[in-house]
Every structure is written in C-alpha cells, then in structure tokens.
A and B are shown apart, each in its own frame.
Chain A
Amino acid sequence: MKAADFIYHRATGVAEALRYMEDYDGEARLLAGGQSLMPMLNMRLWRPAALIDINALSELAEVTAQGEETHLGALVRHATLETSPLIAARLPLLATMVRFIGDHQIRRRGTIGGSLVQGDPASEMPLGCLVLGAEINAVGPAGARMIAIEDFYDGAYATALEADELLTEIRFAVHPPHFAFHELCRRHNDFAVLSVAATGHFSADGGWHGLRIGLGGVNDRPVLAEASMALLEGSSLSDADIAAAGEAALGAIDPPSDIRGSAEYRAHLVPRYIAKALRDLRLSAQG
C-alpha cells in the first residue's frame, strides 16, 4: 500500500525540528531511519499530518568518548554500532546485539534513537541500554532533561517522551568487563521471540558481583530479572546457582502470546536462555 498524504519538512537543526513539532501540535512525526515509521505509513496504520526529517542533523550522529562515559547521538545508525572500533572497545554488548537487528539494509538506515522511541518489546537496543543502565537525553520546548532508561518505557511502543520532545543522546557509564547475549529468532532477521543480555564483574575471590540480567520479548517492555540478580550476588555462577536464577526470573515476566510464540513457550524458554547467557558469562571469565 501507499502512504496517505502528509507535509514533508527537512529540519536543519534541533531548534528547527522542535519548532516544526510545536507548529503541528502533536500531529507531526520525526523521521529518523524510517525503518519502523515507513512501514507504518505505507500500511496506513499511521497518518501523521507532517513528517519532520531529522537525517540532516549531523550533530546527532556522533559517537563520542567523554572520559569514562560514551555518548551516542540519537541518529547513530545500527551499521555504525556494528563496525565502529570505538563501540567495539567501549560498548561491546551493543556491538554484539546490533547484529541481531533486522538485516543488512535495515541496519544501514535504522538509528539507535529510532529504536528506543519505537519501543518494540522484543527490540535489541532498548534491552542493551537497560542492562547497561543508560541515560537518555531529550529536548523539548521546556529545555533538556535526562531520563533513566528504567523510567523510559510506559508500555509496549510507549515511552516517557512528550509528543513535542526529541531524543538527542544516549549516555553510557563504563561497560562491565564481562557480558553475554542470547536470543531466539524464528527466522534470520525477524524480531526475537525472546532475548537475554547479562553483564557482570568477576573478582579474584572467585565470586561474581553487580550482575545485571535483562530480558526482552517477555513483557510489554525490556525488564531486569532483579530477583535473579540479587540471588547471584557473590556467587560463583555454579550450575545450581544458574538454575535457581532461571527459576527466580519467572516472577519478573508477563509474556505475550503472539505470532512468534505462546506465553507458555516463552516462559518455558526463559530459564533456559538465562542459563545459556550465564554459562557464557562464566566462560568469559575463564579465558
């Protein structure tokens, strides 16, 4: 199908984009990579009055190392995360996860900001940002504000952003030394049935500390398996620890039944995929 009619604006700066959004009073949409927006327009699921193209905002396309922090502009493309040596060194979890997004062409265009705002519950970047404890910078008519990723989602495809706010940047603290990621896909390049990302610190006493375990596709938004994380604090990630953590995670999920799998199937998989990720994590500290 073809998109319904709309007015097209090419913004040349953040201030101009914000002005357009105010002009249309919530009836306009920002156009970043278009890899979620354009299918919705072509299927006429969305009929915005205007599109504000932000692809010319090169100030939002930068990857910067700021001391210990790494900052990603909203317009950083999936393909950049895939190939940038800076990302490989400073945000290896994201570099690993991004390869599971869509296909080659989608990753050339899609952006991290667009992924976060789209907020698909099975999407990789929201999960990666949650596990890494990212902070999201947004600007609107009232100025800039930081939103912790834990507070960014109100539900599936719903964020804490106001209709006239623009996501500008995502900030990451130092990446933990160990990480692992697993996901199940029905088809190469489809959205995940479920996904698990984990990070942690392994100390000389043989124990794991500050473990973070995030789950995608098993709730209306990515979630942390907090009970499992608490259970594993200081443990050696023995097989028994891992099994207990997998069971404990079931309290954090409320899986959907959809075209990719039933709720029961997803619940069945959660402990198994947590085990895959945690065994990888354990292995990564043995090399």
Chain B
Amino acid sequence: MSSNEHSISLRVNGREVSAEAPARMHAADFLRHRLGLTGTHVGCEQGVCGMCTILLDGEAVKSCLLLAMQLEGADVRTVESLAEDDRLSDLQAAFKKRHALQCGFCTPGFLMLATGLKSSGRKFSRDEIRGELSGVLCRCTGYDGIVRAVEDYLGDGEAVG
C-alpha cells in the first residue's frame, strides 16, 4: 500500500540515513531490504530466536519486534559496525579464538547482544553471562564457545564505541 509509505530518518552505525518504509514493515526488514544491511538476520519474527538483535540507542533489542517507523530519530548499531575494514573487533576476535561459531547464522545476534552487555557497564559471572545470552539461540555450537568468547570480551576486552 504505497499511500502508507513513510520516510524514516535515523542514524545507523554512525551515519545519518533516510529511507521509505510501509507502516507495517518491521525494523529488521527495513535494515536488510531498504538499507542493504543484511548482517542483521531474520529467523522467527516472533521474538524467540534473537537472530535480529541490534542496538537501539545503546540497548540490545530484537528488531523483528520493532517497527521501522519506531526508528525515526533513533541511533541504531548493527553487526556491520564492528569490524574496521578487514580488522576484526575484539569481540569478533574472541569468537574466532574460542570457536564460537559454526554456520554463523546466529553470530550477528550474539555479537550485538554482547556489545549491549558491555555498554551496560555491569560485571557478569559466567552463570550470569549464560542467563543474559539466552535471548539468542544457536543450533550448532552448544553455546560453550560463545559463553567463553563473551566472557573474554566482557572481562578484559576494549569497550567498542
């Protein structure tokens, strides 16, 4: 319904952008299809799998449960913000070192969730990390490497942004 398309202006990964979206479009589809940022994945579209996790004004949220319209004026960060050219961020390097991915489909979700945990400034025990990470599902790894990578990163990694 083209009459129900709206222009949305926001900041994504430090850049001001604007694009059109229908009212009913969720934020994950907007990032992927209107802004070409396909690093944010889509799994269930009902808030369960966490593949679509992004940072909205610094907090990790599921972008399939947000409307594109709700991004107006927001500051969004996606997984594309982490690496600089070919250089992995500390968090990504920790994932590599700890073998925290196999197929990689869940990885953007975990990376953005962990980035949100870091920016909260709180300290987490390994058990607490497991609890916090329960908002992203992984069908491959069995989670152990992911928990260790995030523990490395929250323990002594550099804050990203």
Question: Which A residues fall within an 8 A CB radius of B?
Answer: 1-8, 10, 31, 34-35, 38-39, 41-43, 51, 53, 55, 79, 102-106, 108-109, 188-189
B68 and chain A: residue at smallest CB distance? A8
B67 at the interface (CB under 8 A from A): yes
B131 at the interface (CB under 8 A from A): yes
B103 at the interface (CB under 8 A from A): no
A4 and chain B: residue at smallest CB distance? B24
Q: Please report the C-alpha to C-alpha distance between residue A2 and residue B27 in the assembled complex, in whole angstroms.
A: 12
Residue among A34, A55, A189 having the largest count of chain B Cβ atoms under 10 Å? A34
Q: Is the CB of A35 within 8 A of B24?
A: no
Q: Please report the C-alpha to C-alpha distance between residue A109 and residue B52 in the assembled complex, in whole angstroms.
A: 14
Q: Is the CB of A55 within 8 A of B70?
A: yes
Q: Is the CB of B26 within 8 A of A5?
A: no
Q: Which residues of B contact A35 (CB under 8 A)?
A: 47, 65
Q: Is the CB of B65 within 8 A of A39?
A: yes
Q: Is the CB of A53 within 8 A of B70?
A: yes
Q: Which residues of A contact B6 (CB under 8 A)?
A: 8
Q: Please report the C-alpha to C-alpha distance between residue A42 and residue B61 in the assembled complex, in whole angstroms.
A: 17
Q: Is the CB of A42 within 8 A of B45?
A: yes
With A103-B135, A188-B131, A189-B134 as known contacts, state yes or no: A8 contacts B26, CB within 8 Å.
no
Q: A42-B46, A108-B56 are in contact. List 9 more A-B contacts (CB 8 A).
A: A5-B23, A8-B6, A10-B72, A34-B67, A39-B47, A42-B26, A104-B134, A106-B47, A189-B135
B12 at the interface (CB under 8 A from A): no
Residue in A38, A53, A55 whose CB lies within 8 Å of B65? A38
CB distance from B96 to the nearest CB of A (A): 23
Q: Is the CB of A188 within 8 A of B134?
A: yes
Q: Which residues of B contact A106 (CB under 8 A)?
A: 47, 62, 135
**Tier of interface size on chain B:** 35 or more
Q: Is the CB of B22 within 8 A of A105?
A: no
B75 at the interface (CB under 8 A from A): no
Residue in B29, B61, B72, B130 whose CB lies within 8 Å of A109? B61
Q: Is the CB of A108 within 8 A of B24?
A: no
Residue among A4, A43, A103, A106 having the largest count of chain B Cβ atoms under 10 Å? A103
Q: Please report the C-alpha to C-alpha distance between residue A79 and residue B22 in the assembled complex, in whole angstroms.
A: 30
Q: Which residues of A contact B135 (CB under 8 A)?
A: 102-106, 189
CB distance from A228 to the nearest CB of B (A): 31
Q: Which residues of A contact B132 (CB under 8 A)?
A: 103-104
Q: Please report the C-alpha to C-alpha distance between residue A190 and residue B127 in the assembled complex, in whole angstroms.
A: 18
Q: Is the CB of B65 within 8 A of A109?
A: yes
B106 at the interface (CB under 8 A from A): no
- 7 of the cross-chain contacts (CB-CB < 8 Å) are A2-B24, A2-B29, A39-B46, A41-B24, A103-B134, A108-B60, A189-B135
Residue in A42, A102, A105 whose CB lies within 8 Å of B53? A105
With A79-B59, A103-B135, A109-B61 as known contacts, state yes or no: A38 contacts B47, CB within 8 Å.
yes
Q: Is the CB of A38 within 8 A of B66?
A: yes
Q: Please report the C-alpha to C-alpha distance between residue A108 and residue B135 in the assembled complex, in whole angstroms.
A: 11
CB distance from B73 to the nearest CB of A (A): 10
B108 at the interface (CB under 8 A from A): no
Q: Please report the C-alpha to C-alpha distance between residue A188 and residue B130 in the assembled complex, in whole angstroms.
A: 10
Q: Which residues of B contact A8 (CB under 8 A)?
A: 6, 23, 67, 69
